Structure 1
Amino acid sequence: MTDPEYMDRAEAALAAIERSCDRINDESDVDIDNQRVGGMITIIFGNGSQLIVNLQKPLQEIWLAARSGGYHYRHDGRAWVDTKTGEEFFDNLSREATRQSGQPLQFIAG
């Protein structure tokens, strides 16, 4: 994938995270905040825990830092998938957000 294609797909993923945070705040009583600085989004939960998503442009990856560890994702032409497990990014983000918030949360790509 070219660098411009990577940036288009990566920026779309970050925008989807922001939209999901807004939707979660609008549709539930979950206290979730997100702060974006450049290619990094910090998701902050009411209990003070955080998830950090950042772009790794040289590697054409998206990284997720969670309490359970760090994850690296590459785009396979259809979705962002974990470089070790093949798990889809938004599925894993939803699982990690649910773990850290203590409430079921769903992040979606669209």
Structure 2
Amino acid sequence: MTELEYLDRAEALLATVETECDRINESGQTDIDNQRVGGMVTLVFDDRSQIVVNLQKPLLEVWLAARSGGYHYRWQDGAWRDTKTGEEFYVRLSLSASEHAGVPLSFGAAA
């Protein structure tokens, strides 16, 4: 993948995370304060816990940090996949956000 392809896909992922937070907030499921600064989106939950999603441009990766740990994702087979387990990004984000919020939440481009 070229750096330009990476940037396009990674920026689209961050925009989707922001849009999904807005959708969840509007649905009344929970309140997630999402803040974007450059290549990083921070999700802040009612209990003040956070999930951070940030771009790692030199590695062509996206990193997610949550209560459950840190995860590294690379674009593979049409999705952002964990470099160790192959788990898709939105699966982990949904699980982690559900843990932080205390209610089931679903993130994804088609959630």
Instruction: Kindly report which structure 2 residues correspond to 1:88-99, keeping only aligned pairs within 5 A, or say none.
Output: 88-99=88-99
**Paired residue for 1:36?**
36
Query: Number of matched residues?
Result: 110
Residue 29 of structure 2 contacts residue 103 of structure 2 at CA under 8 Å; is this kept in 1? no
Give, in whole Å, the separation in 1 of the partners of 2:30 and 2:67. Answer: 19
Instruction: Kindly report which structure 2 residues correspond to 1:1-80, keeping only aligned pairs within 5 A, or say none.
Output: 1-80=1-80
Shift of the alpha carbon at 1:48? 0.7
Give, in whole Å, the separation in 2 of the partners of 1:16 and 1:29. Answer: 18
Give, in whole Å, the separation in 1 of the partners of 2:84 and 2:20. Answer: 25
Give, in whole Å, the separation in 2 of the partners of 1:101 and 1:69. Answer: 16
The list of structure 1 runs, each at least 4 consecutive aligned residues, that deviate by more than 6 angstroms after superposition, is none
Per-residue Cα deviation, 1:64-107 (whole angstroms, up to 9, x for no partner): 00111100000014000000000000110000000111011111
Per-residue Cα deviation, 1:4-52 (whole angstroms, up to 9, x for no partner): 0000000000000000000000012411110000000000001111000
Letter in 2 for 1:89: F
Structure 2 unmatched runs, 5+: none
